[in-house]
Copies of this chain bind each other. A is one copy, B any other.
Amino acid sequence: MPKVVIGVMGPGSEATALDLQNAYTVGQLIATEGWVLLTGGRNAGVMQAASQGAKQAGGLTIGILPSADRAAMSEAVDIPVLTGMGSARNNINVLSSQVVIACGMGAGTASEIALALKAQKKVILLNKNASSQTFFKGLAPELVSVVEQPIAALEIIKAFLSDKDHVNRALE
Protein backbone atom coordinates (compact mmCIF):
# COMPACT_ATOMS: atom_id res chain seq x y z
CA MET A 1 0.00 0.00 0.00
CA PRO A 2 1.73 3.18 -1.19
CA LYS A 3 2.84 5.63 1.48
CA VAL A 4 2.20 9.36 1.53
CA VAL A 5 5.20 11.12 -0.03
CA ILE A 6 5.85 14.81 0.69
CA GLY A 7 8.53 16.69 -1.20
CA VAL A 8 10.74 19.36 0.35
CA MET A 9 12.67 21.43 -2.18
CA GLY A 10 15.07 24.28 -1.67
CA PRO A 11 18.51 25.69 -2.37
CA GLY A 12 21.72 23.75 -1.83
CA SER A 13 24.73 25.80 -0.85
CA GLU A 14 22.80 29.10 -1.13
CA ALA A 15 20.28 28.19 1.55
CA THR A 16 20.02 30.73 4.39
CA ALA A 17 20.20 29.83 8.08
CA LEU A 18 16.45 30.28 8.31
CA ASP A 19 15.88 28.00 5.30
CA LEU A 20 17.95 25.30 6.96
CA GLN A 21 16.14 25.64 10.25
CA ASN A 22 12.75 25.52 8.53
CA ALA A 23 13.78 22.54 6.42
CA TYR A 24 14.97 20.61 9.47
CA THR A 25 11.71 21.26 11.31
CA VAL A 26 9.59 20.40 8.28
CA GLY A 27 11.50 17.14 7.92
CA GLN A 28 10.81 16.29 11.55
CA LEU A 29 7.11 17.09 11.22
CA ILE A 30 6.73 15.02 8.06
CA ALA A 31 8.40 12.04 9.71
CA THR A 32 6.25 12.40 12.81
CA GLU A 33 3.15 12.01 10.63
CA GLY A 34 4.51 8.75 9.22
CA TRP A 35 4.94 10.26 5.77
CA VAL A 36 7.95 9.66 3.52
CA LEU A 37 10.19 12.68 2.91
CA LEU A 38 11.36 13.18 -0.66
CA THR A 39 14.19 15.59 -1.49
CA GLY A 40 16.80 16.15 -4.18
CA GLY A 41 19.11 13.99 -2.04
CA ARG A 42 22.32 15.98 -2.01
CA ASN A 43 24.47 16.61 1.05
CA ALA A 44 23.82 20.34 0.97
CA GLY A 45 21.35 22.97 2.02
CA VAL A 46 17.64 22.29 2.33
CA MET A 47 17.91 18.72 1.00
CA GLN A 48 20.38 17.77 3.68
CA ALA A 49 18.64 19.64 6.53
CA ALA A 50 15.18 18.24 5.76
CA SER A 51 16.56 14.70 5.51
CA GLN A 52 18.41 15.09 8.80
CA GLY A 53 15.27 16.37 10.51
CA ALA A 54 13.25 13.44 9.22
CA LYS A 55 15.87 10.92 10.37
CA GLN A 56 16.05 12.54 13.79
CA ALA A 57 12.31 11.91 14.11
CA GLY A 58 12.62 8.30 12.93
CA GLY A 59 11.27 8.83 9.43
CA LEU A 60 12.02 7.36 6.03
CA THR A 61 13.85 9.51 3.47
CA ILE A 62 14.21 9.22 -0.27
CA GLY A 63 16.57 11.32 -2.37
CA ILE A 64 16.23 11.82 -6.11
CA LEU A 65 19.77 12.67 -7.09
CA PRO A 66 20.90 14.57 -10.17
CA SER A 67 24.04 12.42 -10.33
CA ALA A 68 24.62 8.87 -11.54
CA ASP A 69 26.52 7.92 -8.39
CA ARG A 70 26.32 8.31 -4.62
CA ALA A 71 29.28 10.66 -4.21
CA ALA A 72 27.39 13.84 -3.24
CA MET A 73 24.49 12.12 -1.49
CA SER A 74 23.31 13.09 1.97
CA GLU A 75 24.04 10.39 4.56
CA ALA A 76 20.55 11.10 5.91
CA VAL A 77 18.99 9.65 2.74
CA ASP A 78 17.73 6.09 3.21
CA ILE A 79 16.94 5.34 -0.41
CA PRO A 80 18.93 7.14 -3.08
CA VAL A 81 17.44 7.20 -6.56
CA LEU A 82 20.28 7.94 -8.96
CA THR A 83 19.00 9.59 -12.11
CA GLY A 84 22.16 10.81 -13.81
CA MET A 85 20.06 13.47 -15.52
CA GLY A 86 20.93 16.71 -13.76
CA SER A 87 18.16 19.26 -13.34
CA ALA A 88 15.78 17.25 -15.54
CA ARG A 89 15.29 15.18 -12.39
CA ASN A 90 13.47 18.15 -10.86
CA ASN A 91 10.37 17.03 -12.72
CA ILE A 92 10.57 13.60 -11.07
CA ASN A 93 10.84 15.26 -7.66
CA VAL A 94 7.55 17.05 -8.08
CA LEU A 95 5.65 14.31 -9.91
CA SER A 96 6.52 11.91 -7.08
CA SER A 97 5.42 14.29 -4.29
CA GLN A 98 1.77 14.58 -3.32
CA VAL A 99 2.49 18.06 -1.97
CA VAL A 100 5.62 20.17 -2.52
CA ILE A 101 7.04 22.46 0.17
CA ALA A 102 9.55 25.01 -1.09
CA CYS A 103 11.92 26.22 1.66
CA GLY A 104 13.78 29.27 0.45
CA MET A 105 14.34 30.29 -3.13
CA GLY A 106 16.80 29.96 -6.00
CA ALA A 107 16.79 29.07 -9.69
CA GLY A 108 16.58 25.30 -9.08
CA THR A 109 13.82 25.72 -6.50
CA ALA A 110 11.90 28.03 -8.81
CA SER A 111 12.07 25.39 -11.53
CA GLU A 112 10.63 22.79 -9.16
CA ILE A 113 7.77 25.08 -8.13
CA ALA A 114 6.96 25.87 -11.75
CA LEU A 115 7.12 22.21 -12.79
CA ALA A 116 4.88 21.31 -9.84
CA LEU A 117 2.30 23.91 -10.89
CA LYS A 118 2.49 22.69 -14.49
CA ALA A 119 1.65 19.20 -13.14
CA GLN A 120 -1.23 20.66 -11.08
CA LYS A 121 0.47 19.88 -7.76
CA LYS A 122 -0.21 21.69 -4.50
CA VAL A 123 2.78 23.90 -3.56
CA ILE A 124 3.51 25.56 -0.21
CA LEU A 125 6.00 28.43 -0.14
CA LEU A 126 7.90 28.70 3.13
CA ASN A 127 10.05 31.74 2.58
CA LYS A 128 10.26 35.51 2.96
CA ASN A 129 10.82 36.18 -0.73
CA ALA A 130 7.96 38.53 -1.58
CA SER A 131 8.57 38.59 -5.34
CA SER A 132 8.42 34.81 -5.55
CA GLN A 133 5.17 34.81 -3.59
CA THR A 134 3.60 37.39 -5.88
CA PHE A 135 4.79 35.66 -9.01
CA PHE A 136 3.79 32.09 -8.19
CA LYS A 137 0.46 33.04 -6.63
CA GLY A 138 -0.24 34.95 -9.81
CA LEU A 139 0.55 31.89 -11.91
CA ALA A 140 -1.74 29.48 -10.05
CA PRO A 141 -3.68 31.08 -7.18
CA GLU A 142 -5.60 27.89 -6.38
CA LEU A 143 -2.47 25.74 -6.03
CA VAL A 144 -0.06 28.01 -4.14
CA SER A 145 -0.11 28.67 -0.39
CA VAL A 146 2.31 30.91 1.49
CA VAL A 147 3.28 30.22 5.12
CA GLU A 148 5.82 31.57 7.56
CA GLN A 149 6.08 28.62 9.93
CA PRO A 150 6.72 24.91 9.30
CA ILE A 151 3.74 23.91 11.43
CA ALA A 152 1.45 25.94 9.17
CA ALA A 153 2.70 23.96 6.19
CA LEU A 154 1.79 20.75 7.99
CA GLU A 155 -1.73 21.94 8.68
CA ILE A 156 -2.24 22.69 5.01
CA ILE A 157 -1.00 19.26 3.99
CA LYS A 158 -3.25 17.51 6.51
CA ALA A 159 -6.28 19.41 5.25
CA PHE A 160 -5.29 18.65 1.67
CA LEU A 161 -4.83 14.92 2.29
CA SER A 162 -8.09 14.62 4.19
CA ASP A 163 -9.96 16.09 1.23
CA LYS A 164 -10.70 12.99 -0.83
CA ASP A 165 -11.11 14.82 -4.10
CA HIS A 166 -7.69 16.38 -3.82
CA VAL A 167 -6.13 13.09 -2.85
CA ASN A 168 -7.74 11.20 -5.68
CA ARG A 169 -6.54 13.83 -8.10
CA ALA A 170 -3.06 13.70 -6.60
CA LEU A 171 -3.06 9.91 -6.89
CA GLU A 172 -4.13 9.87 -10.52
Contact = CB atoms under 8 A, between A and B. Distances in A.
Contact of A110 (B71, B84, B86, B114): B114
B134 A2 contact: no
Interface string A101-137: 0000111101100110111000000000101101100
A103 B105 CA distance: 23
A109 to B, nearest CB: 8
Given A114-B111, A171-B70, A5 B79 contact: yes
Interface in A57-93: 60, 62, 64, 68-71, 73, 75, 77-92
A140 interface: yes
A79 B36 contact: yes
B5 A80 contact: yes
Interface of A: 1-3, 5, 36, 60, 62, 64, 68-71, 73, 75, 77-92, 95-96, 105-108, 110-111, 114-115, 117-119, 129, 131-132, 134-135, 138-140, 171-172
